[in-house]
Amino acid sequence: MSSSVPRLVIAAPSSGSGKTTVATGLMAAFASRGLAVSPHKVGPDYIDPGYHALATGRVGRNLDAYLCGAELVAPLFAHGARGCDLAVVEGVMGLFDGAAGEGELASTAHVAKLLRAPVVLVVDASSQSRSVAALVHGFASWDPEVRIGGVILNKVGSERHEGMLREALDASGVPVLGVLRRVEQVGTPSRHLGLVPVAERRGEAVAAVAAMAAQVRVGCDLDALFALARGAGALPGDTWDAAEALAFSPPPPLPVPVPGGAAPRPPYRPERPRPQTPDGPEGPGTASKEPQARPPGAPRIAVAGGAAFTFSYAEHAELLAAAGAEVVVFDPLRDEELPEGTRGLVIGGGFPEVYGPELSANEPLRKAVAALAGSGAPVAAECAGLLYLSRALDGLPMCGVIDAKARMDERLTLGYRDAVAVSDSVLAEAGSRMRGHEFHRTVVEPGAGGAPAWGVRVPVRRVEGFVQQGVHASYLHTHWASAPGVARRFVERCVGSWATAG
């Protein structure tokens, strides 16, 4: 099924030009007109989509040609944008900046071409006048397959400055679709890994998004931008669907064991995929904050949320639900127990280093997590989840599931990784290949257990992470849409864990 949703890609010559302000402001401004706006972010970033969700009332979704493959970018976009009036895609870094050493792969330009979407270039004009025309001309002519449909001038100092910029751009053939004056920075504070997530500053974030929308509403030609978006035309190809992705993915290669030497339990197959509920600003559409009635045989999988664990791709919960699980969100900062009947646990990324004292003080939950892991139940932990499962974080007691200690570090570890599963686990069979992303300023010592999770070769050859009983804990963020069998394998193991408990 083709997608004809009007769409724009918001890009810039470099980071720091104002992409997030413009993209988030456009989303909120169009949403205030009554349009259903689908928010997207190029690359693996988890934080900007939180602001996008606040602006639109829909889950912010990532489009990553490195993690998921170029062939999935358009189907995943169509999935997120289904039923919407407009889609706004915020780019990453500079327009043509992609995965290191991989040419255009995963760049904003690459994604724009895959989506056949016009690009709006956001230019920081604070220190230039006539030179802006040369800059815009260079970006518009560099790749003829990338259509620069307009420019938004940011940080313009005065009416006179605006006049000089417009005069210079008249001959470029690229229309000016907006001018944003130089104002005090909108209240979006940053720290060691970028913007502070929405979940940590809800009231301030709402005000910041409103300020972005007001700035864009005054300075941009929304009618012209929407007309440009409508010119994108139909996008051929199928729309991604979690149930269909699972149906065409390879089955788990290992049977679910049953204690006592009995014959392997047949793999669990739901009678039909559970419906995906509409998206909302709080998280994946299929994840519920309150336990619901379960279909017979559906294992309950708890997913960590709240301010300390905000990094998660929406498709993960959708795949788990389509594989037959009931997905329930809990908050390790507030909840002293895991959701009743939990048979599997997913702890994604976030900022446990910021909330170390509060997480450590919640001893009942730490013990519950350790008991679940000790029972052999499936536990998947990425980055922040790895820190939470360690014995201590900056000297504060954590769950003690992994025999390692974690601490903050001044060095930023950042980049895409090609990984190979070193050990059989609840997520992957040894030898399976996946692509991932690292993004942290912490160190875990030791960095790998006796049965490591992954082997990587870049930036240096090493093994990392921990596999023990049902636990898979690693720094690597992965996107399960690229390997839907991961979700099914995890659910299968949860059913096995349930049988053991029973």
Q: How confident is the model at residue 413 (pLDDT cuts 50, 70, 90)?
A: confident
Q: What are phi and psi of 252, to 5 degrees?
A: -55, 130
pLDDT for res 117 = 98
DSSP of 343-395, one letter per residue?
A: EEEEE-BS-TTTSHHHHHH-HHHHHHHHHHHHTT--EEEETHHHHHHSSEETT
**Res 378 pLDDT > 60:** yes
Q: What is the pLDDT of residues 69-85, one digit of tens each?
A: 999 999 999 999 999 99
Q: What is the pLDDT of residues 112-155, one digit of tens each?
A: 999 999 999 999 999 999 999 999 999 999 999 999 999 999 99
Q: How far apart are CA 126 and CA 132, in angstroms?
A: 10
N residues, the chain: 502
DSSP 474: E
Q: What is the pLDDT of residues 428-449, one digit of tens each?
A: 999 999 999 998 899 999 999 9
Mean pLDDT of all residues in 475-502: 87
**Helix 202-219 × helix 48-56 angle, to 10°:** 70
Q: How far apart are CA 311 and CA 382, in angstroms?
A: 9
pLDDT for res 239 = 96
Which residues have CB under 8 Å from 353's CB, separation 6+? 387, 393, 394, 408, 441, 442
**Res 275 pLDDT > 80:** no
Torsional sign, CA 329, 412, 465, 371: negative
Q: Which residues are catalytic?
A: 383
Q: How far apart are CA 229 and CA 6, in angstroms?
A: 5
Mean pLDDT of all residues in 323-349: 97
**Res 232 pLDDT > 60:** yes
Which residues have CB under 8 Å from 460's CB, separation 6+? none
Mean pLDDT of all residues in 232-255: 81
Whether the bond between 446 and the residue before it is cis, its omega within 30 degrees of 0, is yes
pLDDT for res 352 = 85
Q: How far apart are CA 4 and CA 38, in angstroms?
A: 13
**Looking at 113-117, 181-185, 206-210, 241-245, which range is the least confident one?**
181-185
| Three-state secondary structure call for residue 290 | coil
pLDDT for res 285 = 42
CA 264 to chain CA centroid, Å, is 36
- Report the candidate in 315, 370, 258 with the shortest Cα–Cα distance to residue 480: 315
pLDDT for res 199 = 56
Q: How confident is the model at residue 266 (pLDDT cuts 50, 70, 90)?
A: very low
Q: What is the pLDDT of residues 358-372, one digit of tens each?
A: 999 999 999 999 999
What is the pTM assigned to this prediction?
Answer: 0.89
